[in-house]
């Protein structure tokens, strides 16, 4: 194992430990009455636990790597001097958390030179830790995992998510109207990070969504890629806020063609 890979493996371990700090807090608070406010729309929620979990993650990382940068969904921003920046989503799927519904997780990723090199997504309800580092494969609870092999695109189980903005949701419904007759079925879990990890472990064949933020997909995209998924935007570039796509190789090309035909990135 080379020096860089060794460093990435250490960042993977730290990402999992940091995410675990928040996950342990969430296990005892899921579905409890929370102080809730809205952000970009009435359905875009933030709770006191989002803020508390992000603070706990930042404190943990700062204690271990004080020179690193930080970017968190709930406003934690710090420039670092080490070349490493942590991208944090303390609760990806807050609406699920508020309702006590499965499908939310904690996402922590380490970025160097503009590339995510390590990440962890923890599911507090299923007690699953999805982790990866660049070039080192992907794991769930420490065991290697890969995407589903083989598969018929016409039977593919495809995960997606919907925007908090009402007009964008209408457009996303139009895309589903074109896609659904051509595939096996759609799954809507409610957290992009968990969706991407479910591609990685083979629970779904593919995932796509438009309008995500970096903290939504940073760790999940790396985990899916290291598990063997095709990850990109709609037109062959890297995943971005414009479009995130991840799929098992056997179904990736035909699903991309269907999504391109539906202009799935037009919002």
SS3 (DSSP) at 234:
coil
Euclidean distance between the first and final Cα of the chain, in Å?
44
Cβ–Cβ under 8 Å, residues 228 and 146: yes
Q: Which of 114, 136, 119 is nearest to 5 (CA)?
A: 136
What domains, with CATH codes, occur in the chain?
3-145 (3.30.540.10), 153-261 (3.40.190.80)
Summary mean pLDDT of the chain: 91
Instruction: Return the active site residues.
Output: 73, 89, 91-92, 94, 216
pLDDT beyond 60 at 41:
no
Strands 45-47 and 36-38: antiparallel
pLDDT of residue 42: 54
> For residue range 227-243, what is the model confidence (pLDDT) as tens digits?
999 999 999 999 999 99
């Amino acid at each position: 194992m080379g020096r860089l890979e060794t460093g990435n493996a250490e960042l993977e371990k730290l990402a999992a430990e940091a995410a675990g700090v928040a996950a342990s807090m969430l296990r005892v608070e899921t579905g409890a009455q929370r102080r809730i406010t809205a952000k970009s729309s009435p359905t875009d929620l933030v709770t006191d636990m989002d803020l508390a979990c992000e603070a706990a993650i930042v404190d943990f990382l700062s204690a271990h790597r004080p020179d690193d940068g930080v970017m968190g969904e709930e406003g934690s921003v710090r420039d670092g001097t080490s070349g490493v920046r942590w991208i944090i989503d303390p609760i990806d799927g807050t609406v699920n958390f508020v309702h006590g519904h499965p499908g939310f997780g904690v996402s922590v990723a380490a970025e160097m030179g503009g590339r995510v090199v390590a990440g962890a997504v923890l599911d507090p309800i299923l007690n699953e830790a999805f982790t990866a580092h660049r070039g080192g494969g992907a794991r769930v609870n420490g065991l290697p995992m890969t995407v589903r092999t083989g598969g018929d695109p016409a039977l593919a189980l495809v995960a997606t998510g919907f925007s908090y903005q009402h007009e964008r949701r209408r457009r996303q419904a139009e895309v589903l109207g074109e896609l659904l007759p051509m595939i096996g079925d759609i799954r809507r879990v409610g957290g992009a990070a968990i969706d991407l990890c479910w591609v990685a472990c083979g629970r779904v064949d593919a995932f796509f969504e438009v309008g995500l933020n970096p903290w939504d997909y940073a760790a999940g995209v790396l985990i899916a890629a290291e598990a063997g998924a095709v990850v990109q935007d709609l037109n062959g570039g890297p995943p971005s806020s414009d479009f995130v796509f991840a799929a098992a190789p056997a179904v990736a090309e035909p699903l991309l063609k269907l999504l391109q035909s539906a202009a799935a990135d037009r919002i």
